[in-house]
Structure 1
Amino acid sequence: MTTSLATRTALIEAAHLSASFPSANGSILHVLDDVSLTLHEGEVVALLGKSGSGKSTLLRTLAGLISPTSGEVRYRGTVLNGANPGAAMVFQSFALMPWLTVQDNVELGLRAAGVPAAERRARALAAIDQIGLDGFETAYPRELSGGMRQRVGFARALVLQPDVLMMDEPFSALDVLTSENLRNELVSLWAQPDFPTRCICIVTHNIEEAVLLADRVVVLGSSPGHIKAEVPVLLPRPRDRRSPTFEATVDRLYAILTGRDEKSAASSAATPGPLSHPLPDASVGGLAGLVEIVYSHDGQTDLPDLADELSFEVDDLLPLVDAARMLGLLEVDGAQAFLTEEGRAWYTADIQRSKSMFASLAAQRAPLVKTIVKALENSNDGALRDDFFRDLLRRGYSTEDTEKQLDIAIDWGRYGELFDYDADSGELILSEVAAALAAREEPAGG
C-alpha cells in the first residue's frame, strides 16, 4: 500500500505505556517504559528485539490481555478496559485444546461470543479451507504436525474476522522449511482483497523474518523495554532476500540491535552491574568459535554474511556477539565485527594462558561474574550459597532469567577457574579454597 500512515485509520493506539510486575521476592520488575505506538489500517508491523525487551508483554497489552501499570491503549478511539474486541491472537505454542477437533478448536472463539451454531460451522469451515486444512476438520491436534497445528491457530484467529491479527513468534516452534512455507502463505493471504483483517502485528526476534513480512519494524531496547527505532521496509512483496535493498535493511536493523542502547546506558549506574548489564546467553565454547571464525576472516567480518555462510539467522549470533563485546574480544561497528588485540591474543594463546586471560576478562568486565568473585572474596570462608545471588538477581529478573543468569555465570567462572560450584550443597566456592579443601580430603598416600 502506498498511502502514508498519516492518512490511514488508526486501529490501536498505545500512549506512554509502562508495565511492571512483582518479582518472586516482592521487588518490582520493570518490563516496559513509556512506549507509544500506533497500528494503522493496511500495514504489517513487526515488533523486533532481543530476549527480555518486552515484545510479548507489549503485544499482550495491545490485545488487552495485560493491563498497563501506566498509560493507556485505545481501540478505534475507545480506551481498553479488558480484552481488545478488535484483536485476535496467534501464539507460539499453538494453544489448542487437545480434546477438541480441528473444527471445534476453530469454533471456540465464536462459541464464546455467542454466535449461533449454523453460522459458527459455516465460518469455521470457510476459515479451515482458507488456510489449507480442509479434510482435517474432524482430526484432533495429536494427529497433526506442528505446521498443521499452527494453521489451526491461524484459522481460529481469522474466523473472528479481527481488525488486527496479533502473532507472538508464530513460526519459532517450527522447523525451517515449515516456517518459510507458512510465512509465504501469510504474505499470500495478506495480498487477497477479502482477507478478513486490516492489520497484522507480529512479534519476532528474527531480523530477516521482520524484513520479509513487515511494512514497518519497531525495534525494542531492553532493561526495561522501550522503542529504540522504527524502520520502514520499502520493498514490494514478495521480497527477495538477495536484493541489495533487503540486505541493506537487514544490516540497518542489525546495527540498531547491536548498537549501544543509550536509554539503558543513561538509566543504569555509572559502574555496570549485574541487574543493568545481564550476561548474554553464550557459552565459552560458542565464544571461542565466533572469535576463531572472525580471526580466520582476517580479523573482520560482516555479521549478516557470516550468519548466512553458517546457515544461521543473523539474530542467532547476537548473544555471542554481545558476550564477545562485553569481554572486549570484539568490537562492532554497524553490522561489521572486528577482532580486538585482546581477542587475537586470547585466540592464539595456549589453553592455560587462554583460560587465565578469560578469567581476568570475565572478573573485570562481566558484571555478575565480578560480583560473585568479590562476594566470595569477602565471605568468611570463600563460599556462599547460590540463594544469596539468586535473591539479588530476582530484584531485576524473572525467576527463569535469574536461573539462566546464574547458569551462565557458573559456566564462565568454572572455565576461568575463578570459582567452583557444588550442586549438592548449592555453594559457590573460590577455586583456591575448593582446591585446598580437595587436597585436605585426599587420602594419605593418594
Structure 2
Amino acid sequence: MSDPISAPQGATAAGAPVIVLENIVQHYRTGSGETGPRILDDVSLTLRENEIVGLLGRSGSGKSTLLRIVSGLTRPASGSVAYLGQPVEGPIDGVAMVFQSFALFPWLTVFDNVELGLRAKKAPREEARRRALKAIDVIGLDGFESAFPKELSGGMRQRVGFARALVVDPNILLMDEPFSALDVLTAETLRTDLLDLWVEGRMPIKSILMVTHNIEEAVLMCDRILVLSSNPGRIAAEIAVSLPHPRNRLDPEFRQLVDRIYALMTQRPDPTATREGLFAGLGVGMSLPHISTNTLAGMIEEIAADPYFGKADLPALADSLQMEIDELFPVAETLQLLRFAELEEGDIKLSPAGTRFADMETDERKKLFGEHLLAFVPLAGRIRAVLEERPSHTARAARFLEELEDHMSDDYAETTLRSVVNWGRYGELFAYDENSELFSLENPQ
C-alpha cells in the first residue's frame, strides 16, 4: 500500500468527477412520524478531483443533511448519488469526515485516536503505526502522540480530528463547519495550515467538500461555492473563485465576492414573494428562529446609530458585531418579518417603524412590538385569539405545539413556539407559565 500522506495533490485544474448527486430530495419527519416539508429540493452537484467546494447557507438550508447524503450515511427520499461512477447504497469507504465537535475518545491518546480508523480497517500493526505517526507529523502534532484530549487546546483537538480523517487515505474529505467551535485566531491558523497542506500536495485527498456559514471562510478556501437557499434547501447560485492562494481578505476582488454573496443570500428568489417567504411554511406553520428581544432591539439600535444612521451594509455590520451569517441573518430577517427593517442587495435598512422603535422608551417599544407581532406573526395572533375566546382565558402549550408539528419537525416546532412565547411576553400579548405549560391573558404570578 502506498504512503497516503505523500500522495500527489495540488491546486491544479479540477479533474474527473468523484461524487455526482442528481435531483436530491429529502424531507423532515413531523412529530407524528409522517413525511413533513422538504429539507432539500432538487439538489444536483458534482464534486471533481483537485477542488475545494463549499456549501454555504444558513440554518435550515440542509447543508449538513446534504453532507451526510454525500457520505452515504443518509439515503435521500429521491434522486441518485454516484461515487467514482458507481451508485451509492451505503457509507462510502473512500470518504472521511471532520466534524464541528472534536468527536475524540477522551480515554485514548492522540496516537490511539488517530490510529483507531486503521485498526477498524484491520491494517497491519506496523503499517498502522507508521501511517498514524506520519499523519500526526503532517498535521503539526509531533510531540503530542501520548497526550490525552483533555491536555490539548481546542485547535489541537481539531488537528487530531484532521489527522484521524487523513490517515485512512480517503479520496474525499468532508468537513462540517470544522472551524466554528474554535476562537477566531485558532480557526485562522488552522485554515491557513490546511490550505498550505492542500496547495503543497501534502494531503492524500482528491477533493474537499465543506459546509460553512462563514462567507469569508468560503471565499478564502474554496474553488467553487454553492449557495443554498433555505426552507427547502436549493442551490441558489454557484460561484467560481479564481483568486490565487494565498488569498488576501483586503483584496478588492475578495471583498467584491463577499459583497456579492451577501447580496445573493438576502435577495428574494421571487420579486413578488412576501417577507414571510423568508421563513419555512405559511401562516401558523411558519418556522421561526429563536432570537431574544434584546438581540432584536440591539440590532435596531446599532443600525440606527453612527456610522449607519438607519442603513447598514451587511458585511460591515457582521464585522462590527463579530457575527456570522447563522447569527446575523436570522436577526435581520426577523426584523424584516416584523416590518422593522428591510433587506435588499446585501443591505439592511430600518423601516419608519424601526426608526421610531429606536427612539422610544421601554414601554412604548413593548407596545409597538406587540402590535407588529400580532399583525405579522400568525401564531402569535392565533394564541391571542384562542385565549380571548375561551372563558378561562387559558390554553395549554401542547395545543399549539401539536399544530406546529403537522408542518415541521419536533425541534423546529419547539423553537418556533419558544420564540413566540418570548416575543409575546415582551409585547405583553399573553403570559406563559413554564411549570404548568399554560398560556393566559393574566400574569400567572
- The TM-score normalised by the length of structure 2 is 0.91
1:107-153 deviations in Å (ceiling 9; x for gaps) = 12212222111111111100000001111112222222211111111
CA separation in 1, counterparts of 2:95 and 2:72?
9
Equivalenced residue count is 431
Cα displacement (A) at 1:326: 0.6
Is 2:133 aligned against 1:125? Answer: yes
SS at match of 2:283: coil
Query: Which residue is equivalent to 2:151?
Result: 143
Structure 1 residue 23 corresponds to structure 2 residue 53: no
CA RMSD of aligned residues (A): 2.4
Distance change in 2, residues 1:314/1:272 (3 Å): closer
User: In the aligned structure 2, how far is the partner of 1:421 from the partner of 1:372?
Assistant: 11
TM-superposed CA distance for 1:330, in Å, is 0.9
Aligned CA distance change for structure 1 residues 51 and 65 (closer, same or farther; 3 Å): same
Alpha-carbon offset, residue 101 of structure 1: 1.7
Query: 1:331/1:343 Cα in 2 relative to 1: closer, same or farther (>3 Å)?
Result: same
Q: Report which stretch shifted further, 146-155 or 398-407.
A: 398-407
1:306 lines up with 2:317 in the alignment: yes
* 1:282 partnered with 2:283: no
Contact map agreement 1:208 1:313 (CA 8 A) in 2: no
Letter in 1 for 2:206: R
Which of 97, 100, 106 aligns to 1:92? It is 100
After superposition, the Cα gap between the structure-2 partners of 1:183 and 1:373, relative to the gap in structure 1 and judged at 3 Å, is same
Q: For 1:94 and 1:264, locate their aligned partners in 2 and report how far apart those are by CA, in whole Å.
A: 44
Partner residue in 1 for 2:410:
399
* Superposed displacement of residue 179, structure 1: 0.9
2:424 is aligned with 1:413: yes
> Using a 3 Å threshold, how does the CA distance of structure 1 residues 270 and 323 change in structure 2: closer, same or farther?
closer
1:346 and 2:357 are equivalent in the alignment: yes
- Find the counterpart in structure 2 of residue 442 from structure 1: none
Structure 2 partner of 1:376:
387
Task: Quote how far apart the aligned CAs of 1:195 are.
Answer: 2.0
Instruction: Please report how far the alpha carbon of residue 281 of structure 1 lies from its aligned counterpart in structure 2 after TM superposition.
Output: 3.1
**Secondary structure at 1:282 match in 2:** coil
> Out of 226, 229, 249, which is 2:234 matched to?
226
Q: Pick closer, same or farther for the CA change 1:119–1:246 going to 2, 3 Å.
A: same
How many angstroms does 1:380 deviate by?
4.2
Would you say 1:319 and 2:330 are equivalent positions?
yes
1:44–1:201 CA contact under 8 A, matched in 2:
yes
TM-score scaled by length of structure 1: 0.91
Structure 1 residue 185 displacement after superposition: 0.8
Per the alignment, residue 372 of structure 2 pairs with 361
Match of 2:437 in 1: 426
| Pairing 1:292–2:274 present | no
Deviation, 1:402, is 2.4
- The 1-side partners of 2:280 and 2:94 are apart by 44
Compared CA separation, residues 34 and 245, structure 1 to 2 (3 A)? same
Give yes or no for the alignment of 1:174 onto 2:205. no
Q: What's the % identity of the aligned pairs?
A: 47
* Pair 33,114 (structure 1): closer, same or farther in 2 beyond 3 Å: same
Q: Distance between the aligned counterparts of 1:330 and 1:281, measured in 2?
A: 18
| Distance in structure 2 (CA, Å) of the matches to 1:314 and 1:34 | 24
2:231 maps to a residue whose letter is S
One of 276, 282, 304 as aligned partner of 1:272:
282
Structure 1 distance, partners of 2:170, 2:89, is 18
Q: Distance in 2 between matches of 1:339 and 1:370?
A: 24
Residue deviations 1:330-386 (CA, integer Å, cap 9, x gap):
112211121111111222233322211111101111233233223333444322111
Kept after mapping to 2: 8 A contact 1:53/1:223: yes
SS of 1:229 mapped into structure 2? strand
Q: 1:271 to 1:33 in 2, by over 3 A?
A: closer
Are the equivalent residues in 1 in contact too, given 2:29–2:409 (CA < 8 A)?
no
Written as runs of structure 1 = structure 2, the 5 A alignment for 1:161-200 is: 161-200=169-208
Letter in 1 for 2:420: A
What whole-Å deviation, never above 9, does each CA across 1:293-322 have from its counterpart, x for those lacking one? 221222211121122223334553212111
Q: Contact 1:421/1:429 (CA < 8 Å) preserved in 2?
A: yes
Residue aligning to 1:443: none
Residue 14 (1) aligns with residue 21 (2): yes
Shift of 1:212: 1.1
The answer to whether 1:330 aligns with 2:347 is no
Structure 2 counterpart SS, 1:228 = strand
Which shows bigger deviation, 86-95 or 349-358?
A: 349-358
Corresponding residue SS for 1:238: coil
- 2:249 counterpart of 1:238: no
Matched AA of 1:22: R
**Counterparts of 1:374 and 1:255 in 2: how far apart (Å)?**
38
Aligned partner of residue 81 in structure 1, secondary structure: coil
Partner of 1:105: 113
**Contact (CA 8 Å) 1:303, 1:314: kept in 2 or not?**
no
Letter of the 2:254 partner, please give it. Answer: F
Structure scoring higher RCO (CA < 8 A, sep ≥ 6) equals 2
CA distance in 2, matches of 1:221, 1:321: 16
- 1:270 and 1:388, CA in 2 relative to 1: closer, same or farther beyond 3 A? closer
Q: Which residue of 2 aligns with 1:52?
A: 60
For 2:271 and 2:352, the matched residues in 1 are separated by 29
Cα distance in 2 for residues equivalent to 1:24 and 1:312: 32
- Preserved CA contact (<8 Å) 1:47 1:201: yes
Cα separation, 2, equivalents of 1:57 and 1:264: 29
Q: Distance in 2 between matches of 1:261 and 1:123?
A: 49
Contact 1:279-1:368 within 8 A present in 2 as well: no
Deviation at 1:53, TM superposition (A): 1.3
1:158 aligns with 2:166: yes
Shift of 1:282: 2.1
